[in-house]
């Protein structure tokens, strides 16, 4: 692999590429005790970086790890690290905590073994005219009783990965994933919105999916601009009959859906509006 566009702060220094930071007995590598977050730098801005740094600390605590870096420290390290990239380069910003553990058993053990790194790597943001197709995933989001879904934990993602792999195998770009009750939760790694008769709807957070930072930001921006946004329980049927569907997430911000199953959809005005409002917000 080519790691030359990656910089990682770890143990007090910046390392270029993909430094070996875990061993075969590291608890996180062995049994999945890691949390991370994803923020973005693009066009010289880093919107809501503070919220992403706060969330990785909350995720650490939720998984029984120790949040050893303050939001301010993480933000300072981020701006230092971004200096290693060309101005305006699109960068994925990934703070991560994991348990080193004692190398022995199921429980990670002493939270004092928690380790931290901040990994930055170059990654393009989907262009303005990007769009994607979706299908219904046969896999579902776990509940709080099944998995620690209140943490943005690495151990949750094999489930998201199998959902997207299954969708791609059937010729779709992404999948709508339901919660355990059979209502729409989110896409595989982003939140989902629909519009019908001039009103925007999105699933109400119910503990089974990530209440995305981009999701919350877009809801606020749309409402402030006069758009009605309703957070409620939504069925897949409603998405199939929607006028418009779009996704939100830190990675690509706002991306419209161009097809659901066999039904073509036009990227619509609400997705365009949401994207525009987000870019305005990001540039302050």
Interacting residues with ligand PMP (CB under 6 A): 38, 160, 186, 189-191, 209-210, 212-215, 248-250
What is the Cα–Cα distance from 217 to 127, expressed in whole angstroms?
20
Between 135 and 247, name the residue whose CB sits nearer to ligand PMP.
247
If one counts every other C-beta atom within 10 angstroms of the C-beta of residue 229, the result is 18
Between 65 and 219, name the residue whose CB sits nearer to ligand PMP.
219
Shortest Å, Cβ 37 to ligand PMP: 7
Task: Name the closest residue to ligand PMP (Cβ).
Answer: 212
Between 69 and 215, name the residue whose CB sits nearer to ligand PMP.
215
Shortest Å, Cβ 66 to ligand PMP: 22
Shortest Å, Cβ 134 to ligand PMP: 14
Shortest Å, Cβ 212 to ligand PMP: 3
Per-residue buried b or exposed e for 174-202, using 16+ beta carbons within 10 Å of the residue's own CB: bbbbbbeeebbbbbbbbbbbbbeeeebbb
What is the Cα–Cα distance from 109 to 195, expressed in whole angstroms?
47
Between 8 and 189, name the residue whose CB sits nearer to ligand PMP.
189
């Amino acid at each position: 692999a080519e790691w030359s566009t990656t910089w990682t702060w770890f143990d007090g220094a910046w390392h270029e590429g993909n430094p070996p930071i875990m061993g075969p007995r590291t608890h996180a590598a062995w049994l999945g005790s890691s949390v991370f977050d994803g923020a973005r730098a693009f066009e010289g801005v880093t919107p809501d970086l503070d919220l992403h740094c706060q969330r990785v600390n909350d995720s650490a605590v939720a998984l029984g790890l120790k949040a050893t870096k303050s939001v301010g420290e993480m933000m300072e390290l981020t701006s230092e690290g971004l200096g290693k990239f060309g101005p305006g380069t699109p960068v994925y910003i990934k703070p991560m905590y994991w348990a080193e553990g004692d190398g022995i058993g199921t429980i990670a053990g002493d939270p004092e073994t928690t380790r931290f790194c901040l990994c930055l790597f170059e990654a393009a943001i989907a262009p303005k005219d990007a769009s994607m197709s979706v299908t219904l995933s046969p896999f579902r989001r776990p509940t709080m009783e099944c998995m620690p879904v209140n943490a943005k934990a690495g151990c949750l993602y094999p489930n998201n990965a199998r959902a997207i792999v299954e969708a791609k195998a059937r010729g779709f770009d992404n999948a709508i994933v339901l919660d355990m009750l059979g209502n729409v939760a989110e896409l595989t790694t982003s939140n989902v919105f629909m519009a019908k008769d001039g009103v925007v709807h999105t699933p109400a957070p119910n503990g089974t999916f990530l209440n995305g930072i981009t999701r919350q930001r877009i809801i606020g921006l749309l409402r402030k601009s006069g758009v009605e946004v309703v957070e409620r329980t939504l069925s897949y049927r409603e998405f199939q009959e929607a006028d418009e569907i779009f996704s939100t997430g830190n990675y690509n911000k706002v991306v419209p859906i161009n097809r659901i199953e066999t039904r073509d959809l036009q990227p619509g005005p609400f997705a365009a509006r949401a994207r525009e409002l987000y870019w305005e917000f990001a540039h302050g």
